[in-house]
């Protein structure tokens, strides 16, 4: 059975619109965190790209 952490704060990434949760490495800068990943941070100024299937 997996260890669950149900009470962690959550935000929504403005680039990909996905929710992401608090991480230990963001403990001191959580109020400044805007993006879920380095990839989204790099793409912040670009228009969203269409998904091709």
Structural contact between residues 31 and 22, judged by C-beta atoms closer than 8 angstroms: no
Average per-residue pLDDT in the chain? 85
Measured CA angle at 29 (ends 27, 30), to 5 deg:
70
Tokens, residue 46: 């670009």
Residues spanned by the domain of 35 = 10-41
27 within a domain of the structure (yes/no) = yes
2 domain residue, yes or no: no
In a domain, 20, yes or no: yes
pLDDT at position 5: 73
When pLDDT is averaged across residues 39-48 and rounded to a whole number, the result is 81
Flag whether 48 is in a domain.
Answer: no
Residue 29 lies in a domain: yes
Structural domain includes residue 32:
yes
> What is the total count of domains within the chain?
1
Task: Write out the two tokens for 3.
Answer: 């260890």
pLDDT value of position 29: 95
User: pTM score, two decimals?
Assistant: 0.68
Which pLDDT does position 16 carry in this prediction? 95
Name which of 36, 41, 31 is nearest 13 in CA terms. 36
pLDDT > 80? residue 31? yes
């Amino acid at each position: 059975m997996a260890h669950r952490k149900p009470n962690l704060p959550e935000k929504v990434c403005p680039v990909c619109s996905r929710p992401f949760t608090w991480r230990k490495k963001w403990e001191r800068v959580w109020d400044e965190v805007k993006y879920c990943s380095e990839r989204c941070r790099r793409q912040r100024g670009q228009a969203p790209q269409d998904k091709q299937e």
